[in-house]
């Protein structure tokens, strides 16, 4: 692969760019922030390479945001670049969460704080449900996929089958159902 | 010290199991931390998760607060590293060789096959959180109706407007203060 001839980006710059993404992104819409910063503003990747990196990030385990940081950081400055990119992505939010967490532990038994936390948790369920439906609607309207969604939900959600067992048994089946040429054979 | 080792073991495994983003690992995480190890209660788990929605950055960073509950600052740091490092390391090495598989039709098969599994896991995560956060059997029906309504209002609001998700969480807290008190 041809790396560009431009001078290498400094580690400090990588950290600052990812920290800015980390501190401005809220509520899971992190891909949009990444695209804006990395493709449009810094021009570190073109659209194709961004999509390729995103594809790997979504397929591998781990958070999409930190996987993207690893891949882009590595492409810019190798292992050190990957490290500072992940630190930039995670540390600002972690610092704010540490402060929130200390306040939470100190105050959660206060009845006024307890009802606020109950409202916050009730709202978070609504947020998670909306995000799930937004990314999952394609799967929910394909009968073959919907069946798998229901099976996974019942196994893990109702019967508490462990995640490793679920993945080891269902992932090969799911991948085989979508194997190359499967659609044509069925047609 | 042994608690720290247990925390690291649990969260390092969860890190590698987090297919399709962190949310898919929620039901397993709740099971490990609440039912198996009794590190936090049902309610604390839901509250810690929702604190994660209030802070910027990856929302699963909130798992470090479970470490804080168990072993203080050392637990917090241990969980932060255990939850992020294994998956990042895997991504670092796999992404280096990934391009070799470019154009293989099996890559598409993996992606399309895993998508419904991830959605099923996310729905199970919703259910695991909602079981206490939206419908708490220890409360009366009026209280539960209100918590369910707060969740529904957030879901609808996010679907029809472009409101910042963190604001809807703050709104849930405000609604809790005025509606759920006394």
In the stretch 6-25 of chain B, residues with CB closer than 8 A to chain A read: 13, 15-23, 25
For residue range A66-84, list pLDDT tens digits in order. Answer: 999 999 999 999 999 999 9
Among B102, B113, B150, beta carbon nearest to A126: B150
Task: Report yes or no: B60 and B52 within 8 Å, Cβ to Cβ.
Answer: yes
Nearest CA in chain B to A24: B56
Residues sharing a CB contact under 8 Å with residue A171, sequence separation 6 or more, in sequence order: B113, B114, B117
Rounded CA separation B120/B1 (Å): 36
Counting beta carbons within 10 angstroms of the beta carbon of residue A50, is it exposed (0 to 12), middle (13 to 18) or buried (19 or more)? buried
Supply the pLDDT for residue B174: 96
Neighbours of A173 (CB within 10 A): 13
Rounded CA separation B171/B182 (Å): 19
Rounded CA separation A152/A132 (Å): 14
Mean per-residue pLDDT for A84-111?
93
Supply the pLDDT for residue A29: 65
Cβ <8 Å between A180 and B126: no
Q: Is A179 on the interface with B (CB under 8 A)?
A: yes
List the one residue out of B54, B60, B150 whose CA is nearest residue A26: B54
Classify B17 in phi/psi space as left (phi over 0), alpha (psi -120 to 50) or beta: alpha
Neighbours of B39 (CB within 10 A): 20
Residue written as token pair 């961004």: A50
Q: Is the ipTM of this complex over 0.90?
A: no
CA atoms within 13 A on the CB side of B107: 14
Task: Report yes or no: B77 and B88 within 8 Å, Cβ to Cβ.
Answer: no
Supply the pLDDT for residue A157: 92
Q: Is B81 on the interface with A (CB under 8 A)?
A: no
Task: Report yes or no: A148 and A136 within 8 Å, Cβ to Cβ.
Answer: no
List the one residue out of A50, A127, A2 whose CA is nearest residue B51: A127
Supply the pLDDT for residue A187: 42
Task: Report yes or no: A62 and B91 within 8 Å, Cβ to Cβ.
Answer: yes
Q: Is B77 on the interface with A (CB under 8 A)?
A: no
Q: Is B101 on the interface with A (CB under 8 A)?
A: no
Cβ <8 Å between A27 and B59: yes
Rounded CA separation A168/A170 (Å): 6
Q: Is B72 on the interface with A (CB under 8 A)?
A: no
**What residues of chain B score a pLDDT lower than 50?**
none
Label residues A59-79 b or e (16+ Cβ within 10 Å = b).
Answer: bbbbbbbbbbbbbbbbbbbee
In the predicted structure, residue A183 carries a pLDDT above the cut 80: no
In the predicted structure, residue A131 carries a pLDDT above the cut 90: no
Residue written as token pair 């969860």: B14
Supply the pLDDT for residue B72: 94
B85 is written with which tokens?
């490092």
Mean per-residue pLDDT for A125-154?
92
- Helix or strand run (H / E) with residue A38: none
Residue written as token pair 């709740």: B30
């Amino acid at each position: 692969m041809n790396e560009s001839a431009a001078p290498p980006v400094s580690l400090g710059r990588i950290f600052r760019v990812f920290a800015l993404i980390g501190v401005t992104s809220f509520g899971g819409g992190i891909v949009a922030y990444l695209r804006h910063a990395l493709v449009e503003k810094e021009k570190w990747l073109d659209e194709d390479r961004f999509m390729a990196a995103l594809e790997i990030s979504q397929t591998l385990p781990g958070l999409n945001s930190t996987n993207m940081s690893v891949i882009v950081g590595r492409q810019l400055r190798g292992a050190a670049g990957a490290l500072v990119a992940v630190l930039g992505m995670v540390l600002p939010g972690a610092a704010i969460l540490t402060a929130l967490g200390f306040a939470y532990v100190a105050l959660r038994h206060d009845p006024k704080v307890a009802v606020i936390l109950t409202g916050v948790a009730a709202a978070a369920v609504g947020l998670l449900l909306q995000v799930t439906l937004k990314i999952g609607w394609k799967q929910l309207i394909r009968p073959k996929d919907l069946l798998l969604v229901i099976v996974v939900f019942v196994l893990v959600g109702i019967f508490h089958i462990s995640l490793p067992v679920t993945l080891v048994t269902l992932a090969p089946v799911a991948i085989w159902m979508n194997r190359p040429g499967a659609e044509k054979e069925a047609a | 010290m042994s608690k720290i080792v247990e925390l690291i073991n649990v969260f390092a495994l969860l890190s590698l199991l987090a297919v399709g983003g962190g949310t898919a690992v929620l039901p397993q995480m709740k099971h490990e931390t609440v039912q198996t190890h009794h590190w936090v209660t049902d309610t604390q788990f839901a509250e810690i998760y929702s604190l994660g929605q209030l802070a910027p950055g990856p929302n699963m960073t909130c798992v470090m607060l479970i470490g804080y509950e168990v072993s203080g600052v050392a637990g917090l740091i241990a969980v932060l590293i255990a939850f992020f490092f294994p998956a990042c390391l895997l991504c670092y090495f796999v992404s280096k060789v990934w391009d070799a598989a470019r154009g293989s039709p099996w890559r598409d098969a993996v992606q399309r096959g895993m998508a419904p599994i991830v959605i099923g896991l996310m729905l199970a995560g919703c259910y695991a959180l909602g079981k206490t956060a939206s419908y708490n059997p220890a409360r009366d029906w009026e209280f539960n109706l209100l918590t369910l309504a707060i969740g529904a209002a957030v879901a609808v609001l996010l679907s029809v407007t472009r409101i910042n998700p963190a604001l809807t969480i703050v709104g849930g807290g405000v609604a809790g203060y005025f509606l759920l008190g006394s």
